[in-house]
């Protein structure tokens, strides 16, 4: 199983990043419901996409903690 992070939308595509700085364009119509930039997607070996809400929340918490430390909040 592969994980991608939705980086941004460009037109009708979601630009997704794999951990190794590789980017993929996925049509918005193929994304699971509720997917938005910052969400973690999982791709099964047979190409099915799903949201990993737990990992998405974990990443958001790490980012918030880094921001608090950096800006003294």
**CATH number for the domain including 16?**
2.40.50
Q: What is the mean pLDDT of residues 25-52?
A: 95
- Containing domain of residue 40, as a range? 2-71
Nearest-angstrom CA–CA distance, 46 and 9: 24
Residues 5-34 have pLDDT tens digits of: 999 999 999 999 998 789 999 999 999 999
Q: Decide if pLDDT at 48 tops 90.
A: yes
- Model pTM? 0.85
**Cβ atoms within 10 Å, residue 43:** 17
Domains in the chain, number? 1
- Mean per-residue pLDDT over the chain, rounded: 93
């Amino acid at each position: 199983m592969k994980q991608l992070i939705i980086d941004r939308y460009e037109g009708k595509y979601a630009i997704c990043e794999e951990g190794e700085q590789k980017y993929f364009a996925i049509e918005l119509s193929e994304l699971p419901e509720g997917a938005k930039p910052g969400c973690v997607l999982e791709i099964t070996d047979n190409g099915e996409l799903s949201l990993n809400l737990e990992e998405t929340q974990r990443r958001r918490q790490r980012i918030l903690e880094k921001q608090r430390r950096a800006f003294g909040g």
